[in-house]
Structure 1
Amino acid sequence: MTTTRPTPSNPLGVSTDTIKRRITSIDIMRGLVMLIMLVDHVRERIYYHQQVADPMDLDAVNPDLFFTRLLAHWCAPVFVFLTGLSAWLYAHPANKQPRSASGFLFKRGLFLLLLEVTLVNFSWFGSYNILYLQVMWAIGISMIVLAAAIKLPFKLVGLIGALIVFGHNALVPISFSPGEAGYALWTMLHERGMLIADGPLPIRVSYPVLPWIGLMMLGYFAGPLYGATMTPAQRKRQLIVIGVSCLSLLLVLRGFNIYGEILPWAMADTLVGSMMAFLNFTKYGPSLDFMLLTIGSSMFLLVLFEDRDNKTTEVLKTFGSAPMFFYLLHLYALLVLYAILMAIFGGNQGDLFGVDYVWQVWLVAVILSWLLYYPTKAFARFKHSSQQAWVKYF
């Protein structure tokens, strides 16, 4: 590794190559969750006749479906956390003076909201019968809030984020009925439901934003782990400490049904059944236990990916370096694929087309990932070579 002369923004003289490898590990992690997301969205296209509740109904799902759905739980929290972390990196570029990220966060947040209500919603149904406010909505709102929050003292951003993430489960008993004062705000913040039930375009909030706002703020607070003053050894130790702390707290809170999840667990007749009960968390919105599991375990993956440079990580990095492009591309690929399958086979699961086994979902996802890799790679190259401002949003 080459050395670099110490500077005010890099007092330890860490090489720019080391800094680039840190960012590469983030792209690899982001790419992994994008591929996991692809599996889940294939499931929602061709295995939707086996619907999955939230939390999951253990009497209605087999282990293969349970663990496939459970794996997808990593996607949104890891992506939101890394978005906050990347916002800190944007504000503190390597070997350059710090800059404000507020403008970029605000504009990108608005851009994501626009995508949610246009291209993303249309990609799911090929029509506009109901407007779903889903993950792009949650990330967009969280970015807009973070754009304002980062003007606060840095430690206060972390404190507010921690209070939201660790405290929002205490708000579960609070509920509002449709038409009651506070219902609309609470639906957007904490309890998913119909925001507008009647009219030409009903609106449903699938991703209440409060927990995601807190998680993105914590991601921003974690940004210095990837700063120029942090050596690889120091960063790995801190990531491991965070991971161990999250999972240890999860074992205590969940093991004794103390706090952090609305659905208690109990031992089942089999080991697999007991594991399913223990790991059966709420995603909409994400419970504390849900976030402890996903963020805690992702810390170990970030440690693993930092030192990896092979064909597999190169593929993951490609998907992770153009996430928005891949997100939109895979949604429309699935829309077209499903239309073709319906035209050829019709509804073989009631009104829906569906496969019979979960392994077939994985097979289709693997084939699609291979097909979509090449256009994603081409766009990633264009993105990194282009000076056009709009490209940054993808």
Structure 2
Amino acid sequence: MTATATVNGVLVEKPRISSIDLVRGIIMIIMALDHTRDFFHADANVFQPTDLTKTNPILFFTRWITHFCAPTFVFLSGTAARISLQRKSKKELSMFLLTRGLWLVILEFTIVRFGILFNLYYDFVIMQVIWVIGTSMIVLSALVFLPEMVIGILGLIFILGHNAFDAHPLDPTDSGYTIWAILRQTGAIPLDANHLVLAFYPLIPWLGIMLAGYAIGKWYTREYDATQRRKQLLTAGIIAVLLFIVLRFINIYGDPALWSTQKNIVFTILSFINCTKYPPSLLYTLMTLGPVLIILSWMEGKELNFLKPALVFGRVPLFYYVLHFYLIHTISLISYMIINDKSLSEVDFHFGNAFGGIPTGWGYSLGIVYIAWISVVVALYPVCKWYNRYKSTHSYTWLSYV
């Protein structure tokens, strides 16, 4: 699969790795389902869809399938960084990761935040996936000068070892809590009575995932044998899945939320796969990235025409990510205002009273959520297709940052 680029005024083909673009695109489509649920489902902010005492299997899997999104996005960001080393020196790659990482952090707290909350009060700040990708890139910008094996080992240490701290969580009143919430333990960081920071994505476990992706990126270099890459991806994926099953069955280490026998076999299975995302536990990481590696192996060298529309989203992920929040939120807010006969001045955008102006408990059935999700993805396709074409045929430096 190729894209096009202009070199000295001539339109030429630029090779791309279709399997990575395709997986990333599928992940971006699935991700929109979760965010559509956040704004459209009546129970979105009433209880967690993975709460086995309140959920149902369809709602559970609507949330569970989106667990694959963030780790895949972070992992492939590391892979893409290593692939780019083929056309950049380590010094150039380091500078790019540093500047792009800083840009992503700024983007998270400005444009992305506004798309989610539609307010400039800054009463509430969320540290989400764009923040942690940015900070991980900043750290990686220093680590790229180390041997690749060392980077990979560091990633595995972070992934495998961070759950050792589960037994000793810090409370908000403890010394060092703020730093620890940012680095490893998800938590709310109160700034004062009216301002709150929620550290959803602590750095250490997500950095481990990016470093692992960077190490595997070597398998995608030009000189690497494609057959060998396919075998290694499959082997790594199978090992991750088997390790997840064994560790989860033992039920001792790897996730702070242990599984247990439930009221029936279906809910017992749900308990078994209901792993902790905040922060991403070892078992959560194995459960999600294992199948992704297997899928990458399976997609190697295949022409999957029916999935080609996903390639568009996979090639402009950040552009899609920002736009989809604004579109979902706008449609949800307008529908709320129309149905409840409210003007914009009557909508309360303070986080303590609503989520982006949508009151807790207001919304639609899960069926409507799915219709809205599909509509959003379809609406974004031509816009992303245009931007992908523009990006592929222009060589402006700023395009590398969007």
**Fold match, TM over 0.5?**
yes
Displacement of 1:195 after TM fit? 2.5
- RMSD, matched Cα: 2.3
Displacement of 1:292 after TM fit? 0.1
Partner amino acid, structure 2, of 1:182: G
The one of 27, 31, 35 equivalent to 1:41 is: 35
Contact 1:247 1:293 in 2 (8 A): yes
CA distance in 1, matches of 2:280, 2:46: 16
Partner amino acid, structure 1, of 2:364: V
Contact 1:25 1:302 in 2 (8 A): yes
The one of 332, 343, 359 equivalent to 2:367 is: 359
1:103 equivalent in structure 2: 95
Partner amino acid, structure 2, of 1:108: R
Where in structure 2 are the equivalents of 1:228-239 lying within 5 Å? 228-239=222-233
Of 239-248 and 266-275, the range deviating more from structure 2: 266-275
2:163 equivalent in structure 1: 169
Change (3 A) 1:365 1:315: same
Displacement of 1:259 after TM fit? 1.2
Contact 2:43 2:363 in 1 (8 A): yes
Change (3 A) 1:257 1:75: same
CA distance in 2, matches of 1:264, 1:114: 37
1:216-235 Cα distance to aligned partner (Å, 9 max, x none): 00110101111122222111
The one of 62, 80, 87 equivalent to 1:86 is: 80
2:329 equivalent in structure 1: 335
Change (3 A) 1:98 1:153: closer
User: Aligned pair 1:393/2:387, yes or no?
Assistant: no
Change (3 A) 1:122 1:244: same
CA distance in 2, matches of 1:390, 1:353: 40
Change (3 A) 1:48 1:108: farther
Displacement of 1:382 after TM fit? 0.6
CA distance in 2, matches of 1:306, 1:360: 36
Displacement of 1:199 after TM fit? 6.1
The one of 77, 83, 104 equivalent to 1:112 is: 104
Displacement of 1:306 after TM fit? 2.5
Change (3 A) 1:155 1:206: same
CA distance in 2, matches of 1:173, 1:197: 26
Which runs of no fewer than 5 residues in structure 1 stay unpaired?
2-16
Change (3 A) 1:285 1:331: same
CA distance in 2, matches of 1:110, 1:123: 19
Please give the secondary structure, in 1, of the residue aligned with 2:192: coil
Where in structure 2 are the equivalents of 1:168-317 lying within 5 Å? 168-198=162-192, 201-317=195-311
Please give the secondary structure, in 2, of the residue aligned with 1:174: coil
User: Aligned pair 1:326/2:302, yes or no?
Assistant: no
Displacement of 1:97 after TM fit? 7.2
Displacement of 1:350 after TM fit? 6.5
CA distance in 2, matches of 1:33, 1:240: 19
2:384 equivalent in structure 1: 376
Partner amino acid, structure 1, of 2:313: F
Please give the secondary structure, in 2, of the residue aligned with 1:387: coil
Please give the secondary structure, in 2, of the residue aligned with 1:240: helix
TM, length-normalised to structure 2: 0.88
Please give the secondary structure, in 1, of the residue aligned with 2:274: coil
1:137 equivalent in structure 2: 131
Please give the secondary structure, in 2, of the residue aligned with 1:309: coil
CA distance in 2, matches of 1:108, 1:355: 38
TM, length-normalised to structure 1: 0.89
Q: Structure 1 or 2: larger strand share?
A: 2
Partner amino acid, structure 2, of 1:353: W
Please give the secondary structure, in 2, of the residue aligned with 1:268: coil
CA distance in 2, matches of 1:98, 1:207: 27
CA distance in 2, matches of 1:199, 1:258: 39
Partner amino acid, structure 2, of 1:383: K
Displacement of 1:144 after TM fit? 0.6
Contact 1:31 1:316 in 2 (8 A): yes
CA distance in 1, matches of 2:44, 2:395: 46
Change (3 A) 1:384 1:350: closer
Matched positions, count: 374
Partner amino acid, structure 2, of 1:81: F
Displacement of 1:56 after TM fit? 2.7
1:46-103 Cα distance to aligned partner (Å, 9 max, x none): 115244867932011110010110001000000000000000001124xx87764111
Displacement of 1:269 after TM fit? 4.1
1:192-240 Cα distance to aligned partner (Å, 9 max, x none): 2223331664322111111001110011010111112222211111011
Displacement of 1:260 after TM fit? 0.6
Contact 1:261 1:288 in 2 (8 A): yes
CA distance in 1, matches of 2:190, 2:338: 36
